[in-house]
Amino acid sequence: MTELQNIAKKLFDDGSINLLIGYSNNENGGTSAIFIDNSADIDKLIYNENCHQNLMVYFQKPEVKKFGKLAFVVSLPGLKSVLEIASENQIKDGDAYFIAIDKDGNPSLLQDFHQIEDFITNNQTKPPMGLLKLMEKINNMTREERWQYWTDEFSKCIKCYACRSVCPLCYCTQCITDINIPQWISTESSPIGNLDWHIARAMHLAGRCIGCGECMKACPVDIPLALLTANLNKSIAIHFGDEPGMKADYKYPLSHYKLEDKENFIR
Amino acid sequence: MNNYKLITKQNLHSFFDALQPKNTIIAPKEINKKYYFKPVDKFEDIALDYIQTVLSAKSVLFPRSDTLFNYHRADGDYNIDEPSPIEKNTIVFGMKPCDASSFVYLSNFFLKDYQDKNIKERLEKLYIISLSCKEADNACFCTSVGSNPASTKGSDLNLTLIENDTYYVEVVTEKGQELINYSADLFQDTKEIDKSKYIANVPQKFDVEQAKQNIDSIFESPLWVKDSLACLGCGICAYACPTCTCFDIQDIGSQFNGSRVRNWDSCAFDLFTKHASGHNPRPVQSQRWRNRIKHKFEYSVENLGLISCVGCGRCIRSCPTSMNIVKTVQIFQGV
């Protein structure tokens, strides 16, 4: 039994949890989420560098919540999602257990948000170089070139909404795309219809995105979606000096004010 | 009709050049190590040794957004114009036999009772040249749904690479012969051959007749929930699928000017079954996943006498959470 499996088994044995969401090998040679509801299946639990899905996306799924007490296997991006979700009052300390995987692949059980905050501080990684280079390239374009770049990228979009579905921060029980009276977001896949959606998505995640990049990995037509939110985060950090996913009591700049804010219209 | 010919790879290039000026040619193209159907005007741009494209070729017939008519209000009355759905004859060059067979289902769906005008006109101008599979991957399961990697179902011409850069050509329909006539001297007559040794080995993963029976008989089962816990309700599976035909009709514009458009829709979405009252008969994902599976193997059999799955494996490859239709069918096989 691996160390990860030992931790999981103990949680089941002492009755702490009803469902554990982790990773296992799948039929196609990859890895995918596994939902373990009794300790007999624990031998299927694995972790390796292919386990990228951000499992925190399941924390609001009604059929998952029904099981009762949950435990999640989470690496750095997953843990950042936990803190961001916590700062938005969607999860309370003690609601779930987190088996954290550090940068060397070692598991440890984290039980409260303070432990998660410390873990994140000690396990920081840099964003992938390729992504930074592309961001720099786009930011160096003229406004017209940049508009053309994104228009071309969005024209590929088929509006399958996988970018929304895989995002742990897109947890609204009713997404703006699910409202059709009125039809806020056109269901059409056209340059304008696609722009509607991608602006709405990026703006709803501005300063909240923790950068797991799952939207980009899920996209069937390879739109570099994570860049939009990463760039918005950068602007927010410049203007307000804040970064999401680092603290459970994070005050989201776009929904809080500070007396020292440079804008004075709210005073 | 069926007659058999041979063509060399070099001559296939010339054949493409003969077809190209008068037709729109759609073919698989490599973009960042993935394959997509795109309009091509050079033979060199076509990927001939791909396993599967990310998205199917159904958009040739049933585009992501299809304008049914435009309206314009003037002098107290509405003027309606219906744009032509297709200009030139369109050839899909090099789609896989599973995809070609999906067009049999699509034409049944769109033309059986009500004859959909746009689809009918496109179908009349559509030519399919399929390419038998040399290779398959774990997600392929055509042999489990009554097909095989060299099936000619739905094709006008079927090509199978045999040896020495030579393709074995089956002329399946009159339309196929029409294509050959563009440059008949590039082809050499031959006898029927056994293609099986030249094609990919795709192991059978379930028995389709058994699957139909099992899925038909099970509506309420905790297995639907257990099997779909990972599903997050995006529309990739339906949008990548060559036989998913659900759509949503919308008026885009104002009351004076605009278009009525038919857009793809997916049963995985919450809004798909939501009533005007606000009630949703399929409020959770397991019920939507059940609908998808039952539609493929039960409802479409009831409606059209055909299952609506061709075993292309796209839903399996593209699912961000590795939902697997084969696994689901196998689970119910074991019930």
pLDDT tens profile B210-243: 999 989 889 999 999 999 999 999 999 999 999 9
Q: What is the CA radius of gyration of chain A?
A: 20
CB B52 within 8 A of CB B96: yes
Strand boundaries in A26-141, DSSP class E? 31-36, 70-74, 96-101, 107-110
| SS3 label, residue B226 | helix
Q: Which of B37, B59, B224, B234 is the best residue to mutate to test the A interface, defined by the most A CB atoms within 10 Å of its own CB? A: B234
- Determine how many CB atoms are found less than 10 A away from the CB of residue B138: 17
Which amino acid would we find at residue B198? Y
pLDDT for the residue numbered B185: 96
Instruction: Quote the minimal CA–CA distance from A148 to chain B in Å.
Output: 19
Say whether both A94 and A153 belong to one domain: no
Chains A–B, number of C-beta pairs less than 8 Å apart: 112
Instruction: Quote the minimal CA–CA distance from A175 to chain B in Å.
Output: 10
Regions in chain A scoring below 70 on pLDDT? 266-267
Q: Is the pLDDT of residue B1 over 90?
A: no
Q: How far apart are CA A6 and CA A107, in angstroms?
A: 10
Domain that holds residue A221: 129-240
Interhelix angle A191-205/A143-155, nearest 10 degrees: 110
Interval A222-260: pLDDT, tens = 999 999 999 999 999 998 888 899 999 999 988 888 777
Domain that holds residue B103: 3-333
Check the CA dihedral A242-A247-A248-A249 and report its sign.
negative
Instruction: Quote the minimal CA–CA distance from A244 to chain B in Å.
Output: 24
Q: Which of B263, B274, B285 sits opposite A188 (nearest CB)?
A: B263
Say whether both A144 and A184 belong to one domain: yes
DSSP B276: T
Interval B236-287: pLDDT, tens = 999 999 999 999 999 998 989 999 999 999 999 999 999 989 899 999 999 9
pLDDT for the residue numbered A267: 62
The last residue of one of the domains, among A122, A144, A178, is: A122
CB A165 within 8 A of CB A173: no
Instruction: Quote the minimal CA–CA distance from A32 to chain B in Å.
Output: 6
Would the CB atoms of B236 and A218 count as touching at under 8 Å? yes
Going from the C-alpha of B285 to that of each of A9, A247, B38, B233, B249, the distances in angstroms are: 29, 32, 33, 6, 23
Interface of A with B (CB under 8 A): 26-33, 35, 53, 57-58, 61-64, 158-162, 164-166, 174, 177-178, 180, 183, 186-190, 193, 214, 217-218, 220-222
- A222, closest residue in chain B (CA to CA): B32
Domain membership of residue A263 (yes or no) is no
Query: ω before A182 within 30° of 0 (cis)?
Result: yes
Domain membership of residue A256 (yes or no) is no
Instruction: Quote the minimal CA–CA distance from B30 to chain A in Å.
Output: 12
Which amino acid would we find at residue A173? T
Sheet holding B257-264, edge to edge: B77-81, B65-74, B257-264, B247-253
| SS3 label, residue A96 | strand
Would the CB atoms of B55 and A57 count as touching at under 8 Å? no
| SS3 label, residue A143 | helix
Domain membership of residue A247 (yes or no) is no
Say whether both A82 and A152 belong to one domain: no
Would the CB atoms of A162 and B236 count as touching at under 8 Å? yes
Say whether both A70 and A150 belong to one domain: no
pLDDT above 90 as % of chain B: 93
Domain membership of residue A147 (yes or no) is yes
Domain membership of residue A266 (yes or no) is no
Q: Which of B138, B248, B270 sits opposite A28 (nearest CB)?
A: B138
Say whether both A84 and A140 belong to one domain: no
Report the DSSP beta bridge partners of residue A98. Answer: A72, A110
Domain membership of residue A264 (yes or no) is no
Cα–chain center distance at A193: 25
Helix (H) or strand (E) holding B332: helix B325-333
Would the CB atoms of B318 and A27 count as touching at under 8 Å? no
Say whether both A80 and A144 belong to one domain: no
Nearest C-alpha neighbor of A162 from the set B224, B292, B16, B234: B234
Nearest C-alpha neighbor of B175 from the set B157, B191, B159, B187: B157
Say whether both A234 and A137 belong to one domain: yes
Instruction: Quote the minimal CA–CA distance from B47 to chain A in Å.
Output: 17
Domain membership of residue A249 (yes or no) is no
Structure tokens at B216: 């038909």
Say whether both A116 and A139 belong to one domain: no
Structure tokens at A20: 């554990």
Residue with tokens 């699509």: B106
Say whether both A116 and A142 belong to one domain: no
| SS3 label, residue B330 | helix
Q: Which of B55, B230, B261 sits opposite A220 (nearest CB)?
A: B55
pLDDT above 70 as % of chain B: 99
| SS3 label, residue B53 | coil
Which amino acid would we find at residue B160? T
Say whether both A143 and A170 belong to one domain: yes
Give the mean pLDDT of B285-293.
97
Confidence of residue B51 (pLDDT cuts 50, 70, 90): very high
Say whether both A100 and A134 belong to one domain: no
Q: How far apart are CA B100 and CA B60, in angstroms?
A: 12
Structure tokens at B267: 């049963």
Nearest C-alpha neighbor of A150 from the set A82, A201, A97, A211: A201
Interval B87-103: pLDDT, tens = 999 999 999 999 999 99
Q: Which of B229, B316, B320 sits opposite A35 (nearest CB)?
A: B229
pLDDT for the residue numbered B335: 56
The domain that holds A171 is classified in CATH as: 1.10.1060
- A34, closest residue in chain B (CA to CA): B230
Helix (H) or strand (E) holding B288: helix B285-294
CB A79 within 8 A of CB A209: no
Say whether both A51 and A95 belong to one domain: yes
Total domains in chain B come to: 1
Would the CB atoms of A166 and B234 count as touching at under 8 Å? yes
Would the CB atoms of B236 and A30 count as touching at under 8 Å? no
Total domains in chain A come to: 2
pLDDT for the residue numbered A266: 63
- Collect all residues of chain B within an 8 Å Cβ-Cβ radius of residue A58: 229
Domain membership of residue A259 (yes or no) is no
Q: Which of B228, B229, B263 is the best residue to mutate to test the A interface, defined by the most A CB atoms within 10 Å of its own CB? A: B229
pLDDT for the residue numbered A263: 73
Q: How far apart are CA A244 and CA A116, in angstroms?
A: 14
Nearest C-alpha neighbor of A41 from the set A69, A65, A12: A12
